[in-house]
Amino acid sequence: MFGLSWRKRWNPSGSLAIVTGASSGIGRELVALLIADGCRVIAVARRAERLAALTDQFGDRVVLLVGDVTDPRSVDEAIAIIERSGEGRLDLLVNNAGIGGIGRFDAADESRLRQIMEVNFFAPAMWCRRVIPLMRSNRDRHPVICNIGSVLGHCAVPLKSEYCASKFALHGLSDSLRTELAGDGIAVTLVSPSTTRSEFFDSLVGTDANQVSRSIGSWPPERVAQATLRAIKRRDNETILSLGGKSLVYTDRIVPALLNQILSRSVKS
């Protein structure tokens, strides 16, 4: 965790948040935690039936937005919901929706790269750009943009080249926006989990059904969501989750050549 102690804390009580990828996994758990803390949430996801269960559980504390995060019309609808509420402000954006793919880069077609980059990088960039004005006018509530990255946005591994590229890009965007928006009172928090035990691996893009994902350390989605909310409330710059994830990142920083040798051998094996 890297933070600045002089920063104001973010208070979920009475706040309004947008969470993408809210129908399952980290997103769904985060919606529940935010609502329990008094926040109203616009929950965005493609699967209407999964989103509907949120209304059954949370009633009017959650507003459902069925749509693709890569579609500008989804952002339009989210902003329209905010405007119809009569407040015209946003306190928190969580860019959580994401997809992945496994396999050699030279064995995949270009569509895998483009699809992963669209969801994992271009969509969060679009949502950030569109909601910044709603946050800038609301600086007294210390708004936060939270991007859910990955330890693979710090240290790249083989067979996940497109996913690593998308998370490195999101990492870079987050770092740059953080400095650009500091004067506007908007914090940008990057959360970098290791493997999360969720439905993420059930819908991999351009991936053989028999392909196995190798990873070090994993957390259940509720634990990732809890750590994410703590980082948001503190308005941390960045937090890397799990011992395995931290070990991978810091090994890469200290002895990158050794780690490259190890990772190369894992592909050959």
The b/e string for 36-48 (b: 16+ C-beta within 10 A; e otherwise) is eeebbbbbbbeee
Separation of alpha carbons 65 and 42, rounded Å: 7
Helix, strand or coil, per DSSP, at residue 64: strand
Identity of the amino acid at 260: N
Separation of alpha carbons 258 and 266, rounded Å: 13
Catalytic site includes residue 163: yes
Are 95 and 123 contacting, i.e. CB atoms less than 8 angstroms apart?
Answer: yes
Are 190 and 234 contacting, i.e. CB atoms less than 8 angstroms apart?
Answer: no
Are 102 and 204 contacting, i.e. CB atoms less than 8 angstroms apart?
Answer: yes
Q: Are strands 62-66 and 92-95 parallel, antiparallel or unpaired?
A: unpaired
Are 163 and 148 contacting, i.e. CB atoms less than 8 angstroms apart?
Answer: no
Q: Length of the chain in residues, anyone?
A: 269
**Which one is catalytic: 58, 121, 163, 168?**
163
Separation of alpha carbons 37 and 11, rounded Å: 9
Distance of CA 237 to the CA centre of its chain: 14
Residues identified as active-site: 163
